[in-house]
Amino acid sequence: MTGQMFSGAEILLKSLAEEGVKEIFGYPGGVILTVYEALYNQKEVKHYLVRHEQAAIHAAEGYARVTGKPGVALVTSGPGACNTVTGIANAYYDGYPIVVFTGQVGLNQIGNDAFQEADVVGITRSCCKHNYLVKDVKDLQRVIKEAFHIATTGKPGPVVVDLPKDILSQKTVFDYPKTVKLAGYNPNYKGHPIQIAKALQTLSEAHRPIIISGGGVLTSGAHQELLKIAEMLKAPVAHTLMGTGTFPSNSPLDLGMLGMHGSFWANHAVSHADVIFALGTRFNDRITGCLSRFARDARVIHVDIDPCSISKNVKSDIPIVGDIKNVLVNMIEQFEKTKPNIYEADKEKWLGEIAAWREKRAERKINSDKLSAQVVIQKLYEMTKEYNPIVCTEVGQHQMWTAQLFKFNQPRKFVTSGGLGTMGFGFPAAMGACAAKPDSLVLNIAGDGSIQMNIQELATCMDYGFKVINCVIDNGYLGMVRQWQEKLFNKHYSETKISHPDFVKLAEAYGMLGILVQKEEEIEPAIRKAIEAKSPVLIDFVTEPTEMVYPWVLAGEPLTKVLLSNECSV
């Protein structure tokens, strides 16, 4: 192909092919019609037309989450690009690789308030890992190569490439670069051996160790190494919301999720630990509670590939900058070589203390004849676990109940918005999961508020046969906000009661199966019918409006002060 000239639009698609991209999500517009013309004339890249640009970004992230590969989105300039910002910020906070291509007005129009012009570089600067404005068609393939490299290395994240209209029309020779060299960007993948040795010695000598597994374990692909080191050290493991699935729930060392709505025993174990081994977590406020009272007697070993995350919120006594899998492999090798004494009697005593804390559990009943959301979600788990489903969620009470009640023994099966807490994320993310894993059972567990954020994507599901089973927990409220209003704002339910269309009729209007469930005996037949449908389905579970999520550590309280029910605080 050397010497042959191609337009910028053609180079974009050829570059995607070089990066192994098979699917992209997008929405066309005036300044990127040259790209859509190029798409029309090729068969290598499959394009999925969403109904809103935000959905394209969430779908790309859902694709990235279940595959570990970068997701790709393509949108037009101005309002199209602006509509991507929430999705870009979501991927940035949760650390997933996506590359977003935005259209832009011609170079000679930038800064002149041209029709559908927006400063995409300025707008996205604070919520992406890096961004580019391409000013020369000769730079385009280099920029694309760099974009994918940055998005997928170090701590993954979104990269934005802004494409002026004239750059897409201009021509140059296609010669895709094989390597990338970026001054000042050189993520450290190897943990310092002295620090690793210190960490191993400290963990071996610990009497009450706890491992906290964060989203970085999933990104690193270190779940097997985590299980091995935990068993070697006889150290129990708690996970963050983003770390769900990184440690098998059927292990006797599993403590489940910690934090605001984490298990009582996980929170107490972390609070009473003498050593915390934190892997790939930035210790945000949802897992620490009152920061000044978080694990005050513990020495903290913190491993993260992002040096900015270490000691950002919780001071680290032994910081290790590096890829978690590499660090754990090194630590396992050292353990097998040196065979340190791990004080097994003390470790067994510690596990016994935790076992006693397990007796204190949140109340899971409601004083109503209406359907319990927790019963619905428990049934969903029981009836779908044999299919090893991919479970996506929106944000709110249903998200926390799903994290509590579903058991995951594999990574990349739970897809949710953690850092940004984006309502409307789950449904398009589930579409991305369907595109990536068309043979998997994909659930989206949603609230009646959050599902309406991107409900227009029912059309996308029907167009492409995305077999998402949308399970709507329909309690008539913005449930989590209502819960806070009940406990913290004297039951002043200001603007949290929410209306919605008839979900069953709406599903049918889009041409899919809609099912209404109002009684407990209707749950199992509805789920069975949805699975057998092998097509997009929406189930409307009408549930008790005032059901609460417990355990609950109120904002600003220490992890040891846990509400287990409306009446019980421990």
Q: Which of 277, 285, 281 is nearest to 317 (CA)?
A: 277
Q: Is 480 a catalytic residue?
A: yes
DSSP, collapsed to helix, strand or coil, labels residue 277 as: strand
Element (DSSP H or E) covering residue 265? helix 264-272
Q: Name the packing angle between helices 53-67 and 426-436 (round to 10°).
A: 50
**Is-catalytic flag, 116?**
yes
Catalytic entry in 18, 22, 37, 116: 116
Query: How far apart (Å, rounded) are the C-alpha atoms in residues 517 and 41?
Result: 46
Q: Tell me if 523 sits within 8 A of 376, measured CB to CB.
A: yes
The answer to whether residue 53 is catalytic is yes
- Active site residue: 23, 53, 225, 544, which one? 53
Q: Among the options 5, 42, 46, 115, which is catalytic? A: 115
- What percentage of the chain's residues is helix, strand, coil (to nearest 5)? 40, 20, 40
From the candidates 480, 485, 544, 548, give the one annotated as an active-site residue: 480
3-state secondary structure of 320: strand
C-alpha 371/C-alpha 539 separation (Å) is 14
Q: How far apart are the C-alpha atoms of 350 and 272, rounded to whole Å?
A: 10
115: annotated active-site residue: yes
Where residue 245 falls (left for φ over 0; alpha for ψ -120 to 50; beta otherwise) is left
CA–chain centroid gap for 93, Å, is 9
Question: Which residues are CB-contacts of 220 (< 8 A; sequence separation ≥ 6)?
Answer: 280, 305, 323, 324, 325
Asked if 192 and 322 touch (Cβ cutoff 8 Å), the reply is: yes
**Residues 447/398, Cβ–Cβ less than 8 Å:** yes
| Among 118, 205, 201, CA closest to 164 | 118
Which residue of the set 129, 165, 325, 467 is catalytic?
A: 165
DSSP 448-504: TTGGGGSGGGHHHHHHHT--EEEEEEE-SB-HHHHHHHHHHSTT--TT-B-----HH
Give the residue numbers marked as catalytic. 53, 115-116, 165, 480
